[in-house]
Amino acid sequence: MALIELSGIERRFLLGDTTVNALAGLNLQIEAGEYVAVMGPSGSGKSTLLNLLGLLDRPNEGTYKLEGRDVTTLSPDEQATVRSTRIGFVFQSFHLVPRLTAAENIALPMTLAGISPAERNKRVAQALKDFGLDQRADHKPDQLSGGQRQRVAIARATIMQPALILADEPTGNLDRHTGEEVVNLLEALNARGVTLIVVTHDPGMGARARRQLVMEDGRLKSDSRTDDISILGKISG
C-alpha cells in the first residue's frame, strides 16, 4: 500500500471571470520512506500540491488516500487530527511564533495536541540536542539566525513523529551553506524512515532526491520513477 495515492485530482481557483487550473488531472503514488523533490516553474502548482497533501486544502475533484484512507471526505476536525499526528510542515519563511521561545515553538504541536508538560519537556530537550539548539532554548525567534530558525521549524515539524514531512522551499530564505545544513537535516530524517517531499527551485538540491517530479501548468510534466513510460508516451503520441 502506497503512503500517498492521488487520482484524478483537480484544483481550480476562480480569479474574477477566469478559472485557473492549479492542478489538473493529477495521478500520483508515493511510497512510505520515499524522498521526493517537486520542481517546476513558478505558478506550476507545486505549493498547491503540497497544501493538498498536507490537508490544508481540498481538491475540487479526485481522491486522496493517505495510508490507505480517503482523507478528502474527512471532517475538518478529523483532518486536523491527521495533520497533528501524521504530517509535519516546513515553510520557506519558517513561520515561528515570534513571542514564543525556541523551546516553546518546538513544543507547540504537542501543546495543541494536549500532551502533558512532562512528556513535552522530555521530547523538546531531546529535539534541542538533536538539532544543536541546546544553547538557544530560551531565545525568541528574532534572536536566532535564519539557519537556527529553520532548525527550530524542522524540530517542530518532527516533534510529533509524523510519517510525512512536507517542505515548501525550505532553503529559499537561506544562504547556500546554511541551506546545505538544513537539507542534510531533512535527509537524515528521511534516512530514519520519514517520507520527505520537498518543493525546490534549486536543481542541485532537486538532484539529491531519489525521485524528481517536475510540474507544469498544474500537470505532472515528468516523474523520474516513470520517465521511461512518459518518454514512451511522447514517442507514441
Partner 1 sequence: MRLTDTLRFARDAATGYPMRTTLSVLAMSIGVAAVVILTALGDGARRYVVGQFSSLGTNLVIVLPGRSGTGGFNPANAITTTPRDLTIDDAGSLRRLPTVRRVAPLAVGTSEIAFGGKLREVMVAGSTADFIPIRNFTIAQGVGLPEEDWNRGSSVAVIGAKIRDEMFGANPAIGQLVRVGDRRLRVVGVLASTGQGLGMNTDELVIVPVSLAQAMFNSNTLFRILVEANSRDAIEGAKDQAMTAIKQRHRGEEDVTVITQDAVLATFDKLLGALTLAVAGIAAISLAVAGILVMNVMLVAVTQRTGEIGLLKALGATARTIRLAFLAEAAMLSAVGALVGYLLGQLGAFALRQFFPVFPAYPPDWAVIAGLSTALATGLIFGVMPARRAARLDPVQALMKH
Binding footprint of partner 1, residue count (CB under 8 A): 27
DSSP states of 34-98 as a string?
-EEEEE-STTSSHHHHHHHHTTSS--SEEEEEETTEE-TTS-HHHHHHHHHHHEEEE-TT----T
Closest C-alpha among 56, 54, 45, 38 to residue 10: 45
**Residue 125: partners with Cβ closer than 8 Å, 6 or more residues away:** none
Q: Per CB under 8 A, does 9 bind partner 1?
A: no
Q: Is residue 7 classed as helix, strand or coil in its secondary structure? A: strand
Distance CA 199, CA 167 (A): 6
Binding flag, residue 21, Mg ion (CB under 5 A):
no
197 makes contact with ligand ATP (CB under 6 A): no
Is 16 a binder of partner 1 (CB under 8 A)?
A: no
Task: Decide which of ligand ATP, partner 1, Mg ion, none touches 42; Cβ closer than 5 to 8 Å per partner kind.
Answer: ligand ATP
Considering the complex, what minimum distance in angstroms separates the CB of residue 95 from partner 1?
A: 5
Stretch that binds Mg ion, among 39-47, 52-60, 63-71, 221-229 (CB under 5 A): 39-47
Residue 43 touches ligand ATP, criterion: CB under 6 A: yes
Are the C-beta atoms of residues 94 and 148 closer than 8 Å to each other? no
Residue choice 2, 5, 20, 224 for contact with ligand ATP (CB under 6 A): 20
3-state DSSP call for residue 30?
Answer: strand
CB of 225 to partner 1, least distance (A): 28
Residue whose C-alpha cell is 488516500: 65
Using the rule CB under 8 A, is 187 a contact of partner 1? Answer: no
Judged by the rule CB under 8 A, the positions of this chain that interact with partner 1 are 51, 54, 56-57, 76-77, 80-81, 83-85, 89, 91, 93, 95, 97-100, 108-109, 111-114, 156, 160
